[in-house]
Amino acid sequence: MNKQTEPLETLSEIRSMMERSTRFISLNGLSGVFAGIFALLGALAAYVYLKISFLQPDYYQYSRLPDGSVNFSFYIFFFTDALLVLFASIFIAVSFCTKKARKNGVNIWDSTSKRLLINLMIPLIFGGLFCLVLVYHGHIGYVAPVMLLFYGLSLVNASKYTLPDIRFLGITEASLGIISAIWIGYGLLFWALGFGLVHIVYGIMMYYKYER
């Protein structure tokens, strides 16, 4: 009986080794849940700052003062808010992934994770630069849709180096970006849905699928 199962066990081990060498498998679903929570808190802070309801459109009109001059406090708040959400999400993701990698006895920083990071960052960098161009020309309403679109494309681009579920997450985020560009006045709401609610849902799904 053992002789019959040995070839299957050997093939399983080889497959596992190949997967570890070509895919970054230390992603943690809970990190996605926390990233979504941080994004929702950031969006909530924005709504409180602007003193508007969740369904009120044209939030970006507050980028100008009543006399038509630039409202610098608007830009400072949103820039700070976005950075806090980003840094908190990165910190929790690195913490959870490092813990999972140690548990599985693998190195979190190897050639696969480097390729993953490079393919993730290229669309993000160009998307961030494009957002700055939009801000420079005063097209504030398109910033949230562009962020969702380029973030989704970056996930799709990097998905070949990690879990296949990331591709579907990227497609979902990019689709929300396109839809948000149609209903441009609700960009902040779509931002909260994409970076917040969608992250939480996918994080829970990945946790139960791969880690539970």
Tell me the C-alpha distance between 208 and 27, whole Å. 13
pLDDT exceeds cutoff 90 at 11:
no
**Confidence (pLDDT) at 24:** 52
Across the chain, what does the average pLDDT equal?
85
Question: How much of the chain is helix, strand and coil, in % rounded to 5?
Answer: 85, 0, 15
Q: Lowest-pLDDT range, 4-13, 77-86, 98-107? A: 4-13
Identify the bridge partners of residue 24 per DSSP, sorted by sequence position. 162
Q: Name the token pair of 47.
A: 């709504």
3-state secondary structure of 70: strand
DSSP 8-state assignment for residue 23: S
pLDDT at 27 over 80: no
Query: Count of CB atoms within 10 A of residue 34's CB?
Result: 20
Rounded Cα distance between 31 and 47, Å, is 24
Q: Which of 69-78, 99-108, 117-126 has the lowest mean pLDDT?
A: 99-108
Digit-coded pLDDT (tens) for 43-96: 999 999 999 988 888 888 899 888 888 899 999 999 999 999 999 999 998 888
Please state, in angstroms and rounded to a whole number, the distance separating the CA atoms of residues 82 and 39.
8
- Confidence tier at 173 by pLDDT (50, 70, 90): very high
Tokens 């961030």, residue located: 128
- At position 11, the amino acid (one-letter code) is L
Tell me the sheet residues that pair with 175: none
**Stronger pLDDT, 201 or 115, i.e. the higher one:** 201
* pTM across the whole model: 0.84
Q: Beta strands of the chain (E only): which ranges?
A: none
The Cα angle at residue 92 between residues 44 and 131, in degrees rounded to 5: 55
Check: CB of residue 161 under 8 Å from CB of residue 19: no
